[in-house]
């Protein structure tokens, strides 16, 4: 998937019949215009397949797709610099308020399911890591921890008996602009950090942070390369990216040290048993969708072929994609809570 998307994206705006059969969905070929899609690097492959399939049917709609990260993409959308933003987490009230202040109303559309995969170099992966282990390895107290075994003391204090190997620890992951970063923080780090705050071990201001001394990148492939090239590598990326790489292994995850270890897969992400599963979204500028037929045509086409595009990108289809199409048909906008 990763290689395919990179090659497709490199093809630019060529109107090639090679992509016309990616889906049974059909676009209104009488529509002309330009559509700008930004946001999550996780959602970017889905949007790219939709764009290329549409280009295979008409050259009259020019579509630009990029993936700088969920946070950066929503900032661009609320700044009026994009029509649509992909997101690998729900938009925050702060981001919604920024859009509202700019006079931009958003339509929220769930498009698929994904999991955050915790990845290591693939030759000798751990059989399981708990949230406590992950906190000890990459949480705010892990600054300066240079070997896996050096995280043992904090992990033990949190109830883990995992034997962490005495080898160099090299951490790579997405930066703060990424929804994948936010998902790990919100689902894994913050719940554990709350206990450490209560025990007086962590300042409340640090509870929602990752260790600052790691290699960050907005490019999932760069993260995978960094992790896979070192036998002490540890990182986190979207499941679809991890599943396509022979150089890394996805580690089974347990919420608590004595809980069940669950590996990420289509089945465990769909049924919610994998502890770091999430929903993927599109956020559409409602005014641009109403005013620009090209924006509406792209979203119509995207949702008509949604299962095809999600499957091609290696993610998990929604249980009820028709519900998303109904949200789009209603054009109902969202606002801060």
pLDDT tens-digit map of 142-166: 999 999 999 999 999 999 999 999 9
Answer yes or no: do 33 and 64 share one domain.
yes
The answer to whether residue 86 scores a pLDDT higher than 60 is: yes
User: Average of pLDDT values for 96-120?
Assistant: 97
User: Average of pLDDT values for 272-285?
Assistant: 96
The answer to whether residue 332 scores a pLDDT higher than 80 is: yes
Question: At 22, is the pLDDT very low, low, confident or very high (cuts 50, 70, 90)?
Answer: confident
Answer yes or no: do 137 and 270 share one domain.
yes
User: Average of pLDDT values for 256-268?
Assistant: 96
The answer to whether residue 1 scores a pLDDT higher than 50 is: no
Answer yes or no: do 102 and 124 share one domain.
no
Question: At 2, is the pLDDT very low, low, confident or very high (cuts 50, 70, 90)?
Answer: very low
Question: At 18, is the pLDDT very low, low, confident or very high (cuts 50, 70, 90)?
Answer: low
By percentage, how much of the chain surpasses pLDDT 70?
A: 94
The pLDDT assigned to 110 comes to 98
Query: For all residues of the chain together, what is the average pLDDT?
Result: 92
Can you tell me the distance from the alpha carbon of 273 to that of 262, in angstroms, rounded to the nearest whole number?
Answer: 7
The pLDDT assigned to 113 comes to 96
Distances (CA, A) of 42 to 232, 269, 271: 25, 15, 20
Answer yes or no: do 13 and 55 share one domain.
yes
Residue pLDDT, tens place only, 62-82: 999 999 999 999 999 999 999
Residues in Cβ contact with 243 at an 8 Å cutoff, skipping those fewer than 6 apart: 117, 250, 264, 314
The pLDDT assigned to 20 comes to 67
Lowest mean pLDDT among 11-15, 174-178, 197-201, 273-277: 11-15
Catalogue the E-assigned strands of 69-155: 84-87, 106-121, 129-130
Answer yes or no: do 161 and 286 share one domain.
no
Considering its fold, how many domains does the chain have in total? 2
User: Average of pLDDT values for 281-309?
Assistant: 98
Answer yes or no: do 72 and 164 share one domain.
no
Answer yes or no: do 252 and 262 share one domain.
yes
The answer to whether residue 168 scores a pLDDT higher than 50 is: yes
- Any domain includes 42: yes
- Any domain includes 98: yes
Answer yes or no: do 256 and 291 share one domain.
no
The pLDDT assigned to 208 comes to 86
Can you tell me the distance from the alpha carbon of 184 to that of 187, in angstroms, rounded to the nearest whole number?
Answer: 5
The parent domain of residue 191 ranges over: 115-277
Answer yes or no: do 69 and 130 share one domain.
no
User: Average of pLDDT values for 278-303?
Assistant: 98
In degrees, rounded to 5, the angle at the alpha carbon of residue 259 between the alpha carbons of residues 255 and 265 is 65
Whether 232 and 170 have beta carbons less than 8 Å apart is answered as yes
The pLDDT assigned to 21 comes to 76
User: Average of pLDDT values for 96-103?
Assistant: 96
The pLDDT assigned to 11 comes to 39
The answer to whether residue 17 scores a pLDDT higher than 70 is: no
- CA pseudo-torsion sign 121, 126, 131, 134: negative
Can you tell me the distance from the alpha carbon of 277 to that of 128, in angstroms, rounded to the nearest whole number?
Answer: 17
CA dihedral of 100, 321, 317, 31, whole degrees rounded to 10: -70
User: Average of pLDDT values for 253-269?
Assistant: 96
Q: For position 272, which CATH number holds?
A: 3.40.190.10
For residue 279, what are its two tokens? 């929903």
Answer yes or no: do 232 and 244 share one domain.
yes
User: Average of pLDDT values for 42-63?
Assistant: 96
- Any domain includes 336: no
Question: At 193, is the pLDDT very low, low, confident or very high (cuts 50, 70, 90)?
Answer: very high
The answer to whether residue 87 scores a pLDDT higher than 50 is: yes
């Amino acid at each position: 998937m990763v290689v395919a998307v990179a090659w497709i994206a490199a093809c630019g705006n060529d109107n090639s019949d090679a992509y016309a059969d990616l889906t049974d969905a059909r676009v209104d070929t009488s529509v002309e215009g330009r559509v700008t899609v930004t946001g999550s690097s996780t959602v970017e492959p889905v949007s790219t397949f939709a764009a290329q399939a549409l280009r295979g049917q008409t050259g009259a709609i020019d579509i630009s797709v990029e993936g700088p990260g969920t946070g950066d993409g929503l900032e661009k959308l609320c700044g009026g610099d994009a029509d649509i933003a992909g997101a690998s987490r729900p938009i925050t009230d702060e981001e919604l308020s920024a859009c509202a202040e700019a006079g931009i109303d958003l339509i929220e559309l769930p498009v698929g399911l994904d999991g955050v995969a915790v990845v290591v170099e693939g030759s000798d992966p751990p059989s399981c890591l708990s949230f406590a282990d992950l906190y000890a390895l990459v949480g705010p107290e892990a600054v300066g921890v240079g070997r896996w075994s050096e995280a043992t003391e904090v992990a033990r204090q949190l109830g883990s008996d995992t034997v962490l190997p005495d080898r160099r620890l090299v951490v790579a992951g997405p930066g703060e602009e990424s929804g994948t970063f936010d998902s790990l923080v919100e689902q894994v780090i913050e719940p554990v950090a709350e206990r450490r705050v209560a025990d007086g071990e962590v300042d409340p201001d640090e509870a929602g942070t990752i260790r600052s001394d790691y290699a960050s990148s907005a490019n999932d492939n760069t993260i995978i390369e960094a992790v896979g090239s070192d036998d002490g590598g540890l990182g986190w990326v979207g499941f679809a990216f991890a599943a396509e790489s022979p150089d890394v292994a996805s580690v089974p995850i347990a919420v608590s040290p004595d809980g069940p270890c669950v590996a990420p897969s289509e089945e465990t992400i769909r049924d919610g048993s994998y502890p770091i599963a999430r929903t993927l979204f599109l956020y559409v500028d409602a005014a641009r969708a109403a005013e620009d037929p090209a924006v509406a045509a792209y979203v119509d086409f995207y949702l008509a072929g949604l299962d095809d595009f999600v499957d091609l990108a290696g993610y998990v289809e929604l249980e009820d994609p028709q519900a998303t199409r109904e949200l789009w048909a209603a054009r109902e906008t969202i606002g801060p809570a």
